[in-house]
A and B are shown apart, each in its own frame.
Chain A
């Protein structure tokens, strides 16, 4: 009896420990950030491309929050990216509001608002219905922009935007060094927020909704409210990513609302691994670097390379690149034990 009680106590201890320490930063988590900083020093001429990668990481991260954690499948996430992109674009072109950081906040609020309103209506549905409705949301926004091309600039876009120097000091430079560090800093802040949310009790509830929504209802979870909340947050973050996109490129066109954009970010996330935070980093970076490489290798057939990569990923890494690493890791651990 005494022996079994000590075993029970040990199991209790282990279980408590696991939950109490799960959210702590691990050393390996520094790796992507170190790489991002190393890139700054190693590829000083590729900073514009680097900034684009970081923007897509942020976009994919916002999708991970709703797709990977809450299990909301959407094909219209570009809607929020686009709202953010156009918020700073229109503010700069039409209102002469060119201060970059306040622009990010405006973009987050605008995109979050659109997320809140559409989410309130759409998140009663699931599966294919939801898929179609999210897709329709992005198309409606795109067509609204097209309808008022006198304001939005239509598919020709808003070219030649200029923004004030960052913090009033750091001006835009030819190679985009300043913007790279700027985007990286914003990404770090956003990532911290997302990480807090994911490990919070609210984040737990999101995984519950993903795993079994019937059970969530049965234990009294206000499922709709939770989904609208996370959808709004994800929309705001996607909006910030869109705003950074406009600021780094100094132009924006209605193609940001394209289905292509929604699909691409989902492919990136799935390639990296959903529901893992860092899947967004790995997926966006691998996808964009390969896309860049293939398009230089063969400007006409580069999409073949992307297609091949996706087939290989589906065959050998169905849970994404990070999922593959995990599997290899646990396989090695298993072998070591036996």
Chain B
């Protein structure tokens, strides 16, 4: 079976500084993999390389067996690769509902139409509201995104990713910046994702990682340090030394 996402020998440097070094990573269909590593390990850079925001200097990215290394970001998205951003990237001046309708519209190619009214396709609106329902955002449907508290904006970020109907989903610290009183809602949503979607989650909160992930990849200084099941990672002395050992004085400000 071809993997949903396969990254082969990916390299990227910023000037003289290598930030991604020979990274291999495979997400099988329905994978639940966490990507962990100390700050500056190159986790977000890797996501940017996979999604096409950045071009790698060497290596390949395959989506469902197809080489997408040369494809634009938008072309990758249309092939079922979705992501959330570490810092919200939303249409802040539009309503929550419009944020979702836009995503559904672009996904299905409705946005090529210049003539009919955007509201005339009932199924687009219904589907958009469906995503809002599932994240309990329906009451905020007609509010502008910028009027929402950050935690709820974070949910919109996830709703947009879901509305893309992705086959591979990259979550870059989905609960970052959200008060812990609300983060459980986001984590419930992540836990309840369609089992067919391959998910890669970047997360600092080890409780979340161990609860959610079936496999863990540890990134250190741009390279894959080790990977394995949560148990293997937890019992790996070297990992504890370079990463988990820091958790104590990292002091839960991410979770």
B251 interfacial contact with A, CB 8 Å: no
Query: A residues within 8 A CB of B69?
Result: none
Contact B97 A15 (CB under 8 A): yes
Q: Indicate if the CB atoms of A200 and B113 lie closer than 8 Å.
A: yes
Chain A 8-37 interface mask (CB, 8 Å, partner B; 1/0): 100110111011111100000000000000
Q: Say which residue of B101, B126, B164 sits within 8 Å of A204 (CB atoms).
A: B101
Contact A211 B91 (CB under 8 A): yes
The answer on a CB contact under 8 Å between B133 and A8 is: yes
* A interface size (C-beta, 8 A): 39
* Alpha-carbon distance A203/B98, docked complex (angstroms): 12
A212 touches B90 (CB 8 A): yes
CA distance A201 to B125 in the complex (A): 12
Cβ of B16 within 8 Å of any chain A Cβ, yes or no, is no
In the complex the two chains form, is A199's CB within 8 Å of B142's CB?
no
Q: How far is the CA of A222 from the CA of B103 in the complex (A)?
A: 12
- Knowing A22-B119, A201-B111, the reply to whether A218 touches B129 (Cβ < 8 A) is no
Write the A215-229 contact mask toward B (1 if CB under 8 angstroms, else 0): 111111111001001
- Contact flag A219-B133 (CB < 8 Å), given A200-B114, A202-B111, A212-B90: no
Interface hits, A153-175 → B, CB 8 Å: none
**Chain A nearest Cβ from B41, distance in angstroms:** 22
Closest CB in chain B relative to A69 CB, distance in Å: 12
Q: Does A207 contact B (CB under 8 A)?
A: yes
Tell me whether B107 and A220 are in contact (CB under 8 A): yes
Judge whether B160 and A215 touch: CB under 8 Å.
yes
Q: Does B138 contact A (CB under 8 A)?
A: yes
Q: Is the CB of A226 within 8 A of B101?
A: no
B77 near A21: Cβ-Cβ < 8 Å: no
A-B contacts counted at CB < 8 A amount to 143
Contact code string A179-223 (vs B, CB < 8 Å = 1, else 0): 000000000000000001101111111011011101111111111
B108's nearest neighbour on chain A, judged by CB, is: A201
A-contact bits for B95-121, CB 8 A (1 contact / 0 none): 101100111011100111111111111
Query: In the assembled complex, how far is the CB of residue A193 from the closest CB belonging to chain B, in whole angstroms?
Result: 9
A204 and B102 within 8 A (CB):
yes
Whether B129 lies near A16 (C-beta < 8 A) is yes
A14, A205, A215: which contacts B111 (Cβ < 8 A)? A205
Chain A at the B interface: SS class: helix
Give chain A residues whose Cβ lies under 8 Å from the Cβ of B92. Answer: 211-212
Task: Point out the residues of chain A lying under 8 angstroms from B133, CB to CB.
Answer: 8, 12
In the complex formed, the residue of A with least CB distance to B84 is A218
Question: Is the CB–CB distance between A204 and B111 below 8 Å?
Answer: yes
Residues of B within 8 A of A208 (CB): 91, 94, 102, 106
A8 to B130, CA, bound (A): 11
Query: CB-CB < 8 A to A196: which residues of B?
Result: 114-115, 117
Nearest-neighbor residue (CB-CB) of B140 within chain A: A11
Q: Is there contact, CB below 8 Å, between B114 and A202?
A: yes
Give A21 to B119 CA distance when docked, in angstroms: 7
B141-199 contacts to A (CB < 8 Å): 141-142, 160, 164
Q: How far is the CA of A207 from the CA of B145 in the complex (A)?
A: 14
Select B118's contact among A201, A221, A222, A229, beta carbons within 8 Å. Answer: A201
* Cβ 8 A contact of B102, one of A16, A205, A222, A229: A205
Which residues of chain A are near B207, meaning CB under 8 Å?
Answer: none
Q: Which of A15, A217, A221 contacts B141 (CB 8 A)?
A: A15
Which 6 A-B pairs have CB atoms at the shortest separation, nearest pair first? Answer: A220-B77, A15-B141, A211-B91, A19-B119, A23-B117, A220-B78
* Other 8 A-B pairs with CB < 8 A, given A215-B90, A216-B74, A218-B85: A14-B141, A16-B126, A205-B105, A211-B91, A217-B73, A220-B106, A220-B107, A222-B74
Interface CB pairs A-B, < 8 A, 10: A12-B129, A14-B142, A15-B97, A18-B142, A20-B122, A201-B113, A214-B85, A215-B160, A218-B89, A219-B82
Chain B residues close to A by CB (< 8 Å): 51, 53, 72-78, 82-83, 85, 89-95, 97-98, 101-103, 105-107, 110-122, 125-126, 129, 132-133, 138-139, 141-142, 160, 164
Chain A: residues with CB nearer than 8 A to chain B? Answer: 7-8, 11-12, 14-16, 18-23, 196-197, 199-205, 207-208, 210-212, 214-223, 226, 229
